[in-house]
Amino acid sequence: MTDLLDLAPLTPLHQTVRRPLYTETNTSQALYLPIAPPTLGTAGAVIGRELYSGKAFIYCPFSAFGDGLPGGNMIVMGDTGRGKSALTKTYTARQIRLGRKVVVLDTKEQKEREEGEWAALGRSLTGHAPVKFAPGGGRGSSCINPMDPAIAGKRQVELVRTIVELGLGRKLDEFAGSALRIAIRRAHHRAGEEGRPPVLADVAAALRAPEETDAQAKQRTGDELLADGLEASYVLDRLCGSDQDSTGDLIGMLDGPTSLSIDLDADMVVFDLTKVPSGGVAMTILVAVISVFLEEVWLRPLCECGTEPTQHERVTVDASSGAWELGANASTGCRRYTQRKRILVCEEAWHILGTPQLASLLEKFLKFARGYGLSCIFIVHHLSDIDDSAETQAALKMADTIIIYSMKKSEAEDTVARLGLPAWTAEHIMRLRRGVALWKVGEVIYPGVQHLLTETEQHLCFSSGSMTDLSSAAPDTE
């Protein structure tokens, strides 16, 4: 009989496998703070999962606002084919299900479909085709009038002056600026007498035919006032054409009355700018006009219940100071006025951020986005596509959420340096797989957020058909 002591019961006869430790205690989570940052809550759009913690990644700038996130502006960047557009498309579609309204400035064409890459998504969500702009106009094209009465007062003067300065390539002096303001006023007056809205051609005509009373009011002679605005009139002729010349850069897009083929209150409005030459003055001016038009028309104060502030009752919150807030609307059953939330997406945003005048014009959009209930999303490839002007840097600083997909070494290092990110993120960005991005939300960094798509979303986000082999099983979603 074998002695039990000879079996050495305390000595294992074979090596066992250690079971993994699963725990949800705060103590264990504290050990992984560098790789498992806190979640953003459970309210908002589902993005995918955070790889280092395994948790679902849910993001909404409107829900997270005030809790470490000072604003809703976002910039998305990374090399081609890494998933920037796919993320933004699915994110906006999921936000629409939460009641948001979305406008897209689409400058990225899909040659095989002969339309912008956001057209399919917009059509699937609203049933409407995109608002198309094309030089020379033509069938199905739209026009926005910078002189539209919807853009009134100082804002319209600023817009027309920006158009002239962009066409001229430099700023107007005080004399030319004064002549332009007078001409805008006269254009409204003369067009009103004819019972029609003014257009830019009316401004050019008023610059070439100033009235003596206007010259005297400025203590100028008629010839001096004419000389002040003559160059600006030539610029408007070159851009919008004239009776003798119909080859202007903006003909068919900005030279006539406003004609849009879609309701601006739709869930998603896509402005298709793919036929407008990129990098030229026409694209820059068109984006500027659309942006200001949206500010004056699309961003009007509106409650989530669909009614204006004037239809909500005023509730006094402090009798001594007279402070009040907007309360219920009995006609809709709304208990309290809540500003409608909106999202503006700028595809290939180097058109905006790379132009100081345009970045300056949009500064009001970005700076007061919180008051508008607005989240601006800019999609770029690299920060090297954008200049270092003060206006551009100011716009970058207003991006409270930064999403970075994989980049090559030089671009990653430049991005980290310009955004002031920790040094370790440069190499980390280079190693990111497709569909995985580094997110910086406020001051918190999420090193690896994997974006997940449904099968339907994959087809709507498909934008690389020309480079896809017929044997490919699944579309590339950039």
Q: How far apart are CA 163 and CA 184, in angstroms?
A: 13
Radius of gyration of the CA atoms of the chain, in A: 28
Q: How much is the average pLDDT of 242-247? A: 67
Spatial neighbors of 376 by CB under 8 A, at least 6 apart, are 72, 73, 74, 343, 344, 346, 365, 366, 369
Task: Give the amino acid at 268.
Answer: M
- Residue pair 156/270 in contact (Cβ under 8 Å)? The answer is no
Residue 268 Cα to chain centre, angstroms: 13
Look at strands 268-272 and 131-132 and give their pairing.
parallel
Q: Average pLDDT in the 81-86 region?
A: 88
> What pLDDT sits at residue 24?
54
Mean pLDDT score of the chain, rounded to an integer? 82
- 474 sits in the region (left: phi over 0; alpha: psi -120 to 50; else beta) called beta
Instruction: Give the torsion through C-alpha atoms of 401, 379, 260, 300, to 10 deg.
Output: 10
Rounded Cα–Cα distance for residues 402 and 77 (Å): 8
| Residue 83 scores a pLDDT above 70 | yes
Q: What is the mean pLDDT of residues 438-466?
A: 81
Show me where the domains of the chain are located. Answer: 40-137+265-284+341-462, 153-240
Residues of the chain above pLDDT 90, percent: 30
DSSP code for 366:
H
The string of pLDDT tens digits covering residues 265-285 is 889 999 988 888 876 788 888
CA separation for the pair 252, 132 (Å, rounded): 11
Phi (first) and psi of residue 174, to 5 degrees: -65, -35
Instruction: Say which DSSP state 99 is in.
Output: T
CATH of domain 40-137+265-284+341-462: 3.40.50.300
Strand-pair partners of 326: 314
Q: Is the model's pLDDT at 340 over the cut of 90?
A: no
Cα distance between residue 95 and residue 47, in whole Å: 11
Question: 179 to each of 185, 198, 210, 233, 293, how far by Cα in Å?
Answer: 10, 17, 9, 10, 24
Identify whether the C-beta of residue 329 lies closer than 8 Å to the C-beta of residue 336. Answer: no
Residue of 91, 134, 84 lying closest to 464 (CA atoms):
84
CA 400 to mean position of chain CA atoms: 13
Between helix 84-96 and helix 119-126 the angle, nearest 10°, is 10
pLDDT, position 126: 87
Tell me the one-letter amino acid at 365. F
Distance, CA of 122 to chain centre: 16
In whole angstroms, give the CA distance from residue 264 to residue 446. Answer: 35
Instruction: Name the least confident of 35-39, 160-164, 195-199.
Output: 35-39
Instruction: State how far the alpha carbon of 309 is from the alpha carbons of 334, 421, 465, in Å.
Output: 12, 41, 46
Residue 353 contacts residue 395 (beta carbons within 8 Å) = yes
3 state DSSP class of 128: coil
372-412 pLDDT tens trace: 788 889 898 888 777 677 767 777 777 889 999 999 999 99
How far apart CA 142 and CA 135 sit, in angstroms, is: 10
Cα 64 from chain centroid (whole Å): 19
In angstroms, the Cα distances linking 107 to 87, 169, 385 are: 17, 23, 15
Q: What pLDDT shows up at residue 17?
A: 53
Between 77 and 112, whose confidence is greater?
77
Q: Is the pLDDT of residue 178 over 60?
A: yes
Segments of 380-469 assigned E as strands: 401-404, 436-441, 444-451
Residue 149 belongs to what H/E stretch? none
- Give pLDDT, residue 20: 53
Sign of CA dihedral 59, 61, 62, 65: positive
